[in-house]
Structure 1
Amino acid sequence: MEQNFKQGYRMHRILSNLNRLDVDGKDDADRERVETARDLPEEVSLLTGPGDGAGADAHADS
């Protein structure tokens, strides 16, 4: 459980830091990189979240 908490906290910090970036002064390529970086952790979170069933089965034996 502590490992899940640490991973969740890290994900939160990544998203928080990405959301704080000021992209107004950046060129189009940099803005796209930031948007991609913002989207990837959310996609991973959806894939590994508790609703998919995989996480619950993997931790049931521990």
Structure 2
Amino acid sequence: MDQQFKEGYRMHRVLSNLNRLDVDRLDEADRERVETARDLLEEVSFLMWPGDGAGADAHADS
């Protein structure tokens, strides 16, 4: 398996798991950490799949 694909898959899984968290049950500090982590992963995802961004969106939304 291609190394870039493996890294992208791992980021996708982490982002998916973060999106599944019930942030309403977290305290404010943890909510901010989750939001920061989501933002950073989405930014990195856009950098890994350059172009029109369609690839990054497909990976982040799944």
Q: In structure 1, what is the Cα distance between the partners aligned to 2:12 and 2:35?
A: 16
Q: What stretches of structure 2 of length at least 5 have no aligned partner?
A: 52-62
- The aligned residue for residue 57 of structure 1 is none
The alignment-based identity, stated in percent, is: 78
Q: CA RMSD in A?
A: 1.5
SS of equivalent to 2:23: coil
Letter in 2 for 1:31: R
Structure 1 counterpart of 2:19, one-letter code: N
TM-score, normalization: structure 1? 0.69
Which protein shows a greater Rg?
1
Q: Which runs of 5+ in 1 are unaligned?
A: 52-62
